[in-house]
């Protein structure tokens, strides 16, 4: 983790961590918090402290189900799942793994696989190098 | 041409740090009619006021402009200073260069420019100011308190003790309010009823207090010192004079299925009922939505057993009209609805609110004070409290404010359980424990240290009712672990909100209310018990969350302010009232329709403004299509002169 700053994550996730009052309702609501080495409320706290590297290395990124229970129940509108999602994207992009390139898109569109266009758009967003 | 003096205030650094006051003075000097301009660090100070008084004499000023804070803050101060100097007080104009300039502009250049423009506008207005003379209005020496909880009772008692008659209007059948429902009170754990009921009896017995229970405000007319208010006394179907309060009627009533409001719906009551044993007045009411006789014409058992013949099935609502000099809003609070908080399983009988717990632990409550699970009547092995349910919640479900009373009542509840049943384990999930108050933190710490209450920093995400017990999906933030805590009874510290009807009452009294439905005070620090509407005062939780000690203190303060008004024989009226120019009036009567005070009479093609009723709001002046209606002190010409000066 080198050039990823808190502010970049902030922008990526478009959330306001300053609103967090550390109530813990996100972690209490999370169905997989048990398996995370950094629970949702800790995730927000670490981001507040700019300890971005810890977030990038945590298994939370891969355990989070994106069920959005934390977002639903947060009384302050902090949206922890969006921060996890932003961190996940940041890691994926950084790893430079390119699973899809712009040139390939027409091929998928023309194929008879009937892939939804939305899927292609989101895959392109997530998995391009 | 008027001889105008302009005085620019630094307000310490409040204004001067952003606005270049010297530039404002220099600019003011260039305005026509300005013969003197000066700046001063604190114009509102005695020295500052003396500077103005001296300048009026020295330069022969006939008009004064003060560029300082909001006129709501110090307009009266400077008008008084002008009067001392021999000027008519209405020859003073304020330009607000603090709230409207220095406090909102970061850039000094912008702030200064706007200050100069606003000062210029005030100078332009002063040129057209005419001396005005306030009239007098009478003060009806009687107060009305809306709400008969501890806030209303205390305010009424204090006013009555000072010798003025007070009426209390209470919407439920008895006075007492929420405090009557409570078991013990923090931080001393004395019995709530023991300290409240004597006050209730005092209020009922006081020669200066008239109780109107089961009554509501129907209509408000008039203004400070001279309100005319219509009260609707809802039909009780019981004659208050004849009833002896023996209670035979509700013993015999066959309807036993109505949820008891006083017991928070935990048990049922009869159709004819008194809300609780110590009710004042101790006269039952018939709930017409439940009574068989009133619904079908059959039954009438209560009537048959009532020996003093107090049951009156054909009783109608009664309207009483009375004059008051002051009105006190003391309408109190309710707990918010938990409908939108599905994850807390409030529909489970073993998940209750703080107020329901009060009834459950109260010796006079539905279980005689025996703490049991309402589902299986078993004694809980553990009780878990969850704080901040719907409080400090900026989502659409909750309230953004702290409800203030929950931390302390939860510590109290927890302590009461541990004291009575040491074998029951008690947990409290908290976000922050807030205990600022005399002996409050000591009280909270005692619950943890001496009574062994288990405080867990964290929250509950979801409550799952599993029959035998409840599972709380939760987190212990200090321990850094997720938990599935099993417990037998959950108490939700539910947010409080002003009663819904306060909006209607506020609009009848034209008193302002904030986005959370709390009544707005005239000044958050300096006028905390007055509403911005003259003659309307605030007491208790209607103004903001507060506990009993604070409510009683505020109630006394409110009473003092009301007494201060009622001892006056006459009030000075605001001379800035509307006036119609007969020559321009085309008789359309549009003004009579917009006047919120009913101050404009339409007679034979022309209108006439009743100066005693007019509050100078200006609605008529902006409505008048022919420009006949004008507001003294804010005439159309004056306002246009200000606009011209701003646009110059």
Q: Which residue ranges make up each domain of chain A?
A: 6-97, 100-129
Q: What is the pLDDT of residues B324-374, one digit of tens each?
A: 999 999 999 999 999 999 999 999 999 999 999 999 999 999 999 999 999
* Cβ–Cβ below 8 Å for A21 and B431: yes
pLDDT range class, residue A13, cuts 50, 70, 90: confident
Give the per-residue pLDDT at A2.
Answer: 44
Most confident of A86-90, A108-112, B35-39, B578-582: B35-39
**Rg from Cα positions in chain A:** 16
Taking CA atoms, B49 is separated from B69, B79, B131, B517, in Å, by 14, 10, 20, 39
Cβ neighbours, 10 Å, residue B205: 9
Residue B513: phi, psi to the nearest 5?
-140, 145
Contact B129, B101 (CB under 8 A): no
Residue B464: phi, psi to the nearest 5?
-115, 120
- Residue to test with chain A: of B384, B477, B481, most A Cβ within 10 A: B477
CA atoms of B82 and B73, how far apart (whole Å): 16
Instruction: Tell me which residue in A19, A34, A73 faces B461 most closely, judged by beta carbons.
Output: A73
* Cβ–Cβ below 8 Å for A21 and B395: no
For residue A26, the chain B residues in CB contact (below 8 A) are: 461
* Cβ–Cβ below 8 Å for B458 and A42: no
- Residue B91 has what DSSP assignment? G
* Cβ–Cβ below 8 Å for A29 and B480: no
Cβ neighbours, 10 Å, residue B122: 26
CA atoms of B593 and B596, how far apart (whole Å): 8
For residue B473, the chain A residues in CB contact (below 8 A) are: 28-29
For residue B457, the chain A residues in CB contact (below 8 A) are: 24
* Cβ–Cβ below 8 Å for A29 and B457: no
Nearest in space to B554 (alpha carbons), one of B324, B330, B325:
B330
Q: To the nearest whole angstrom, how far is the Cα of A92 from the nearest Cα of chain B?
A: 28
For residue A28, the chain B residues in CB contact (below 8 A) are: 458-462, 473-475, 482
Nearest in space to B391 (alpha carbons), one of B409, B404, B376, B378:
B404
Residue A74 has pLDDT above 90, yes or no: yes
How many A/B residue pairs have CB atoms within 8 Å?
67
* Cβ–Cβ below 8 Å for B392 and A21: yes
Instruction: Tell me which residue in A23, A28, A33 faces B388 most closely, judged by beta carbons.
Output: A23
For residue A76, the chain B residues in CB contact (below 8 A) are: 392-395
Which residue is closest to B483 within chain A, CA to CA?
A28
For residue B343, the chain A residues in CB contact (below 8 A) are: 29, 73
Q: To the nearest whole angstrom, how far is the Cα of A38 from the nearest Cα of chain B?
A: 9
CA atoms of B437 and B244, how far apart (whole Å): 43
CATH number for the segment(s) B578-632: 3.30.70.20
The two domains B143-234+317-332+499-566 and B336-497 share their CATH topology (first three levels equal): yes
Structure tokens at A129: 């190098």
Find the Cα–Cα–Cα–Cα dihedral B73, B76, B79, B85, rounded to 10°: -110
Instruction: Tell me which residue in A28, A39, A77 faces B395 most closely, judged by beta carbons.
Output: A77
Nearest in space to B144 (alpha carbons), one of B597, B509, B550:
B509
- Residue to test with chain B: of A27, A77, A80, most B Cβ within 10 A: A27
Q: Give the start-end residues of each E strand in B390-469.
A: 425-430, 454-457, 460-465
* Cβ–Cβ below 8 Å for B392 and A74: no
Query: Which chain B residues have any C-beta within 8 angstroms of a chain A C-beta?
Result: 343, 388, 392-395, 397-398, 431-432, 457-462, 473-475, 477, 480, 482
* Cβ–Cβ below 8 Å for A22 and B477: yes
Give the per-residue pLDDT at B611.
Answer: 83
* Cβ–Cβ below 8 Å for A42 and B462: no
pLDDT range class, residue A112, cuts 50, 70, 90: confident
Class of domain B336-497: alpha beta
Which residue is closest to A45 within chain B, CA to CA?
B477
- The correct CATH number of A6-97 out of 3.40.50.300, 2.130.10.10, 1.10.1060.10, 2.30.30.140 is 1.10.1060.10
Instruction: State the average pLDDT over residues A112-122.
Output: 77
Which residue is closest to B474 within chain A, CA to CA?
A28
Q: Is domain B4-126 annotated with CATH 3.40.50?
A: yes
Residue B610: phi, psi to the nearest 5?
-85, 110
Give the per-residue pLDDT at B336.
Answer: 98
For residue A68, the chain B residues in CB contact (below 8 A) are: none
Q: To the nearest whole angstrom, how far is the Cα of B528 from the nearest Cα of chain A?
A: 29
Find the Cα–Cα–Cα–Cα dihedral A42, A44, A49, A55, rounded to 10°: 70
Q: To the nearest whole angstrom, how far is the Cα of B474 from the nearest Cα of chain A?
A: 4
Q: Is the Cα torsion angle B144, B150, B153, B156 positive or negative in sign?
A: negative
- The correct CATH number of B143-234+317-332+499-566 out of 3.40.50.300, 3.50.50.60, 3.90.1150.200, 3.90.1150.10 is 3.50.50.60
Give the per-residue pLDDT at A1.
Answer: 41
Q: To the nearest whole angstrom, how far is the Cα of A64 from the nearest Cα of chain B?
A: 15
**Which portions of chain B are predicted below pLDDT 50?**
none
Give the per-residue pLDDT at A104.
Answer: 79
Cβ neighbours, 10 Å, residue B505: 23
Q: To the nearest whole angstrom, how far is the Cα of B176 from the nearest Cα of chain A?
A: 34
Sequence length of chain B is: 648
Q: Starting from the edge strand earliest in sequence, which strands make up the sheet with B454-457, in order?
A: B351-353, B489-494, B382-389, B425-430, B454-457
Give the per-residue pLDDT at A115.
Answer: 77
Instruction: State the average pLDDT over residues A64-86.
Output: 93
- Residue B588, classified by CB atoms within 10 Å of its CB into exposed (0-12), middle (13-18) or buried (19+), is middle
* Cβ–Cβ below 8 Å for B395 and A74: yes
Query: Which chain A residues have any C-beta within 8 angstroms of a chain B C-beta?
Result: 19, 21-30, 33-34, 39, 41-42, 69, 73-77
For residue A21, the chain B residues in CB contact (below 8 A) are: 392, 431-432
- Whole-structure pTM over 0.90, yes or no? no
Instruction: Tell me which residue in B394, B473, B477 faces A75 most closely, judged by beta carbons.
Output: B394
Give the residue extent of every domain in chain B.
4-126, 143-234+317-332+499-566, 248-305, 336-497, 578-632
Which residue is closest to A27 within chain B, CA to CA?
B475
Instruction: Tell me which residue in B461, B480, B482 faces A25 most closely, judged by beta carbons.
Output: B461
Instruction: Tell me which residue in A28, A69, A74 faces B475 most closely, judged by beta carbons.
Output: A28
Q: What is the pLDDT of residues A26-63, one digit of tens each?
A: 999 999 999 999 999 999 999 988 888 899 899 999 99
Instruction: Tell me which residue in A24, A69, A76 faces B458 most closely, judged by beta carbons.
Output: A24
Taking CA atoms, B423 is separated from B383, B396, B453, B559, in Å, by 11, 40, 12, 47
Give the per-residue pLDDT at A4.
Answer: 61
* Cβ–Cβ below 8 Å for A24 and B477: yes
* SS3 call for B47: helix
Which residue is closest to B431 within chain A, CA to CA?
A23
- Residue B178 has what DSSP assignment? G
Give the per-residue pLDDT at A109.
Answer: 79
Q: To the nearest whole angstrom, how far is the Cα of A117 from the nearest Cα of chain B?
A: 34
Instruction: Tell me which residue in A22, A24, A75 faces B393 most closely, judged by beta carbons.
Output: A75
């Amino acid at each position: 983790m080198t050039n990823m700053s808190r502010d970049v994550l902030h922008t990526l996730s478009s959330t306001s961590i300053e609103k967090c009052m550390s109530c813990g309702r996100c972690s209490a609501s999370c169905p997989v918090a048990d398996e995370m080495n950094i629970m949702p409320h800790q995730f927000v706290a670490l981001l507040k402290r700019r300890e971005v590297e810890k977030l990038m290395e945590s298994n939370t990124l891969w355990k989070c189900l994106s069920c959005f229970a934390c977002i639903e129940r947060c009384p302050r509108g902090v949206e922890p799942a969006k921060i996890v999602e932003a961190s996940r994207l940041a890691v994926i992009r950084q790893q430079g793994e390119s699973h899809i390139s712009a040139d390939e898109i027409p091929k998928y569109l023309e194929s008879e696989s009937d892939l939804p266009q939305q899927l292609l758009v989101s895959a392109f967003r997530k998995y391009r190098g | 041409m008027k001889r105008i003096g302009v005085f620019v205030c630094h307000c310490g650094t409040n204004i001067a740090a952003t606005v270049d006051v010297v530039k404002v003075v220099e600019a003011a000097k260039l305005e026509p009619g300005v013969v003197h301009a000066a700046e001063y660090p604190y114009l509102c100070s005695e020295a500052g006021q003396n500077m103005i008084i001296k300048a009026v004499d020295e330069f022969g000023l006939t008009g004064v402009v003060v560029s300082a804070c909001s006129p709501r803050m110090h307009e009266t101060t400077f008008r008084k200073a002008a009067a001392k100097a021999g000027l008519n007080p209405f020859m003073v104009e304020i330009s607000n260069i603090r709230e409207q300039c220095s406090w909102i502009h970061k850039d000094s250049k912008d702030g200064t420019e706007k200050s100069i423009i606003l000062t210029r506008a005030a100078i332009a207005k002063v040129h057209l100011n005419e001396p005005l003379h306030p009239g007098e209005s009478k003060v009806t020496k009687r107060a009305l308190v809306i709400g008969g909880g501890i806030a209303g009772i205390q305010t009424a008692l204090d006013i009555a003790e000072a010798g003025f008659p007070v009426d209390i209007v209470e919407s439920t059948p008895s006075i007492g309010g929420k405090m009557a429902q409570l078991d013990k009170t923090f931080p001393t754990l004395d019995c709530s009823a023991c300290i409240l009921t004597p006050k209730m009896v005092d209020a009922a017995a006081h020669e200066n207090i008239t109780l109107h229970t089961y009554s509501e405000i129907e209509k408000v007319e008039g203004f400070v010192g001279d309100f005319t208010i219509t009260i609707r006394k809802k039909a009780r179907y019981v004659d208050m004079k004849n009833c002896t309060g023996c209670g035979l009627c509700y013993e015999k009533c066959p309807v036993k299925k109505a949820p008891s409001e006083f017991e928070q719906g935990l048990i049922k009551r009869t159709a004819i009922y008194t809300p609780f044993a110590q009710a004042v007045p101790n006269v039952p009411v018939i709930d017409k939505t439940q009574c068989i006789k009133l619904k079908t014409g059959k039954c009438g058992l209560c009537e048959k057993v009532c020996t003093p013949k107090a049951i009156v099935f054909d009783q109608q609502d009664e309207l009483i009209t009375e004059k008051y000099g002051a009105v006190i809003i003391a309408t109190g609070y309710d707990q918010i609805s938990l409908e939108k908080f599905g994850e807390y399983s409030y529909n489970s009988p073993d998940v209750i609110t703080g107020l329901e717990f009060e009834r459950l632990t109260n010796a006079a409550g539905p279980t005689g004070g025996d703490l049991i699970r309402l589902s299986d009547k078993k004694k809980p092995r553990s009780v878990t409290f969850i704080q901040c349910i719907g409080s400090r919640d900026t989502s659409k479900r909750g309230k953004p404010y702290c409800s203030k009373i929950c931390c302390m009542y939860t510590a109290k509840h927890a302590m009461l359980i541990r004291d009575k049943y040491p074998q029951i384990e008690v947990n409290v999930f908290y976000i922050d424990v807030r205990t600022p108050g005399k002996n409050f933190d000591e009280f909270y710490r005692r619950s943890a240290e001496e009574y062994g209450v288990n405080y867990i920093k964290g929250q509950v995400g979801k409550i799952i009712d599993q029959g035998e017990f409840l599972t709380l999906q939760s987190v212990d933030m200090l321990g850094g672990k997720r938990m599935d805590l099993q417990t037998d009874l959950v108490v939700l510290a539910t947010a409080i909100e002003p009663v819904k009807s306060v909006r209607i009452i506020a609009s009848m009294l034209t008193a302002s209310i904030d986005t959370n439905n709390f009544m707005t005070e005239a000044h958050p620090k300096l006028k905390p018990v007055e509403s911005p509407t003259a003659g309307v005062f605030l007491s208790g939780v209607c103004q903001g969350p507060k506990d009993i000690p604070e409510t009683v203190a505020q109630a006394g303060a409110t009473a003092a302010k009301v007494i201060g008004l009622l001892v006056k024989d006459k009030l000075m009226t605001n001379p800035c009232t509307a006036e119609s120019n007969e020559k321009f009036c085309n008789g359309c009567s549009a003004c009579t329709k917009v006047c919120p005070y009913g101050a404009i009479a339409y007679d034979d093609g022309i209108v006439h403004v009743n100066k005693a009723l007019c509050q100078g709001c200006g609605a008529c002046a902006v409505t008048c299509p022919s420009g006949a209606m004008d507001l003294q002190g804010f005439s159309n010409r004056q306002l246009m002169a200000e606009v011209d000066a701003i646009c110059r």
